[in-house]
Structure 1
Amino acid sequence: MLVAILPGDLASELLGVWANSRSPEVLEQLREEMGLNRPWYERYVVWLGDFVRGDFGYGVIYRAPVAELVWDALKNTLVLAVAAFVPSTALGVGAGVFAGTRPNSLADRSITTLSVLAASVPQYWLGLMLIALFALHLDWLPAAGMWDTRNPGGLRDLGLHLILPALTLAAVPTAVISRLVRSAMIEVMQQDYIRTARAKGLHERAVIRRHAARNIAPTAINIVTLQFGYLISGTIFVEVVFAWPGLGGLLLGAVASRETAAILAITMLVAATFVLMTLIADVAQSLLDPRVRLE
C-alpha cells in the first residue's frame, strides 16, 4: 500500500528519463496495459489469487519471472542465515547454560552485559564497524559480496566472504538465546528434583546433564527455532550492508524500481517463514514436553 500511494509508479520507472517528455496519453496507456490504473486493493486481490496458484508475477524491470528472482536470492539468503544460525545457537545455548548454573557470579554478569550490548547495537552499525576493522584497517577479510569477482570459486572464497556478515547477523540471536536459556536454566535449577539429585550425591555436572539440561531442552528448542525466523528477516539489512546477493538486495532494488510483485512476494515469503518456524517450534515442544501435550 505504501508503494502504491507514493509519487510515481512502475510505468514511470519503465519509461525512465523519457517519462516527462512523452505525452500523458502514452504514460496513461502504459499504466492501463499494466493494470496500474486500478485501485491498489484490487491489484492486491488479483496478485494474491495468482500467488495462491503459484504465479508470483513478472518482474518488468528485471525482465524475469518473480519466482525465479526470489528463488535465486533465497538460496543465497539461506546460506547466510544457516552460517549465522549454527554459531548463534551453539554460543547462545552454551553461554545461557553456563550463566544459568552460576547466577550472580562474575561469569554470569559478564555474559549478561555482553548479551545486552549485542542485542542493543544496530546490525547495520555493527556490520560497518566490522568492515572498517577487518576489511579496511587489517585487510584480513573481504568487505562485501559473496565471491571474489576477479577470481571467483571455491568454498574457501565463499567462507571468507561469509565471516563478517554471518558474525553481524548472529549477534542479536546469540544474545537473545543466551538470555532466555539463562532464565530457563535458573528456574530449573531451583526445582525440587534438582535438590533431590544433589542430595543423592550426584556430581554437579551429572545434575546439569541428566536433569537440568533435559528439562530446559523443549524451551531451548522453541527459542532457537523462533530465532531462525528472525534471522531470515534480519538478513535483509545485513545483506544491504555487505552487498550480499540475497533477498535484501532484491527487496531494495524492487522498492527503488516500484516492482510491486517482487515486494509482495518477498514480504509473503518472510511472513510464511515466521509462521512455519512458529509451527515447528510448537510441534517440537509438544513432542518433547509431556506437560504441553496434556494441556
Structure 2
Amino acid sequence: MISYIIRRILTAIPLMLGITILSFAIIKAAPGGPTSLLMDPNTKPEDRVKFEEKYGLNDPIYIQYGKWLGNMVKGDFGTSLIRRGVPVSEMILNRLPNTLLLMVASTILAFLIAVPLGIFSAMRPYTKLDYTVTVTSFLGVATPNFWLGIMLIILFGVQLGWFPTGGVATLNAPFSIWDRLHHLIMPAFVLAVADMAALTRYTRSSMMEVLQQDYIRTAKSKGFKERTVVLKHGLRNGLIPIITMFGLMLPNFIAGAAITETVFSWPGIGRLFIESAFTRDYPVIMAVTVLTAVFVVIGNLLADILYAIFDPRIEY
C-alpha cells in the first residue's frame, strides 16, 4: 500500500504541472491586467512600465512562468499585486481554516442525510417515500447554490432572524463555539445540497443492486433481521460508488465554496479566488489553483485507499 501511495503521488506531479501551465496561460490570455485596475487612467506611461518591471509583468510569459514555478517549488507563491507586500501564502493560510471548516461540515452533513435516505429509498423502492426522495434529489441537483443561499438569507436571516446573514462570527464578540456553528449552518447546508442530492441517488442505485444479490436473499432466508442484512451485509458492498463520490466531492467543494462563500461573506479560499479573479491578482489565482489541484489528488488517493479498506477483493 505504501509503495502504491508513493507511485500515485509521483504520477500526480506531471498532472499538477500541466494544470499550472494551462492555468498560467489562460490567466495571461485574459484581457486587461493588474495595471489597468490599479492605476489611474491618467497615470504616466513610465510609471506603468516601472510597475510592470517591478513585478516582472513585462517579461515573456515563459520567463514569468519559470520564475513562478521556481519560487513555488520552494514554497514561495510570491506577494499579492493588489495588497502590496502581503505574501500570498499568508493570505491562503489565514483563510484556509475557514474553508476547511465549511468543507468538513458540508461533507458530514451530506453523508449523514444522504446515505440513510438512499438506503431507505432502496429498501422501499417505488413507494411514496422513494418517489419523494427521488423528486427531492432532482430538485437539489437542479437548484443553483447562489439562488438557494439568497433565498435562505431572505427567509431565515432577514425575515425570521434565526440565523446571521453572513460572516464567520459575530463582530467584536468573544469566541464562542455556538456562535461559530450559528454562522456555519446556512452556508454548510447550501454547499452540501447538490452533493447531498447526488449522493442520495448514488446510494439508492448501489444499494438496490446489492439487495438483489443471492447472498442477501440467503441471509434473509436464514432469519436475520432486515436491518442486520442491509447494514452488515449490504451496505459495505454498496459503498464503492459512494466512496467514488466522496473522492470527487473534495475538489468540488472548492468550486462550490467560491459561490457560497461570496453569497454568505464567508472569508475563505473560494471568496479570495473570486476577489483575485476580478482584480487580476495573478499570484493569488495561481496559488488557489495549485491548492485545488492538490485537493483533486488527495481526493482520488483517499478514494483508492478506502476501496481497499471496504472491499477486501481490491489489492494494491
**TM-score scaled to structure 2, two decimals?**
0.87
When the two structures are aligned, how many residues end up with a matched partner?
291
Q: Is the aligned partner of 1:73 residue 2:95?
A: yes
Aligned partner of residue 58 in structure 1, secondary structure: coil
CA contact (8 A) 2:257 2:271 kept: no
What is aligned with 1:166? 188
What is aligned with 1:54? 75
Aligned partner of residue 190 in structure 2, secondary structure: helix
**2:312 and 2:272 mapped to 1: Cα distance?**
43
**Which runs of structure 2 are paired with 1:230-241 in the superposition (5 Å)?**
230-241=252-263
Aligned partner of residue 126 in structure 1, secondary structure: helix
CA contact (8 A) 2:247 2:300 kept: yes
> Does 283-292 or 242-251 show the bigger shift?
283-292
Where does the alignment leave 5 or more consecutive residues of structure 1 unmatched? none
Runs of 4+ in 1 over 6 A off after TM superposition: none
What is aligned with 2:47? 26
CA displacement, residues 247-269 of structure 1 (integer Å, 9 cap, x when unaligned):
12211221222210100000111
- Do the aligned partners of residues 23 and 223 (structure 1) sit closer, same or farther apart at CA in structure 2, a change above 3 Å counting? closer
> Does 5-14 or 188-197 show the bigger shift?
5-14
Q: Is the aligned partner of 1:281 residue 2:303?
A: yes
What is aligned with 1:211? 233
Q: Is the aligned partner of 1:37 residue 2:61?
A: no
Aligned partner of residue 77 in structure 1, secondary structure: helix
CA displacement, residues 78-111 of structure 1 (integer Å, 9 cap, x when unaligned):
1111111111111111111111111111111111
Paired amino acid for 1:149: L
CA contact (8 A) 1:237 1:248 kept: yes
CA contact (8 A) 1:222 1:284 kept: no
Question: How big is the shift at 1:152?
Answer: 5.0
What is aligned with 1:132? 154
CA contact (8 A) 1:88 1:171 kept: yes
1:228 to 235, 245, 250: 250
**2:277 and 2:248 mapped to 1: Cα distance?**
27
**1:47 and 1:88 mapped to 2: Cα distance?**
38
CA contact (8 A) 1:89 1:224 kept: no
**Which runs of structure 2 are paired with 1:93-242 in the superposition (5 Å)?**
93-151=115-173, 153-242=175-264
Q: Is the aligned partner of 1:10 residue 2:34?
A: yes
Measured on the aligned residues, the alpha-carbon RMSD in Å equals 1.7
Identity in percent: 38
Paired amino acid for 2:95: A
Paired amino acid for 1:284: L
